[in-house]
Amino acid sequence: MSKFNNLKLEVADEIAVLTISRPAALNALNSETLDELNVALTEIEARDDVKVLILTGGPDKKDNPYKSFVAGADISEMVNFTAAEARAFGMKASVPFFKLMNMRQVTIAAVNGFALGGGCEISMACDIRIAADNATFGQPETGLGIIPGFGGTQRLARLVGMGRAKELIFTCDSIDANEAYRIGLVNKVVAKEELMNTAKEMAKKIASKGSYAVSIAKAAINNGYDMDIKNAVEMEANLFGITCSTHDKAEGMGAFLERRAANLTDF
Catalytic residues: 121, 141
The candidate with the shortest Cα–Cα distance to 18, out of 150, 109, 120, is: 109
Q: Is 266 exposed, middle or buried (0-12, 13-18, 19+ CB in 10 A)?
A: middle
The H or E element containing residue 220 is helix 211-224
Residues 6 or more apart whose CB falls under 8 angstroms from that of 47 comprise 11, 16
Contacts with 144 (C-beta within 8 Å, 6 or more apart), sequence order: 75
Q: Which H or E element spans position 45?
A: helix 31-45
CA–CA dist 116, 136 (Å, integer) = 7
200 — phi, psi (to 5°)?
-70, -35
Cβ atoms of residues 139 and 172 within 8 Å: yes
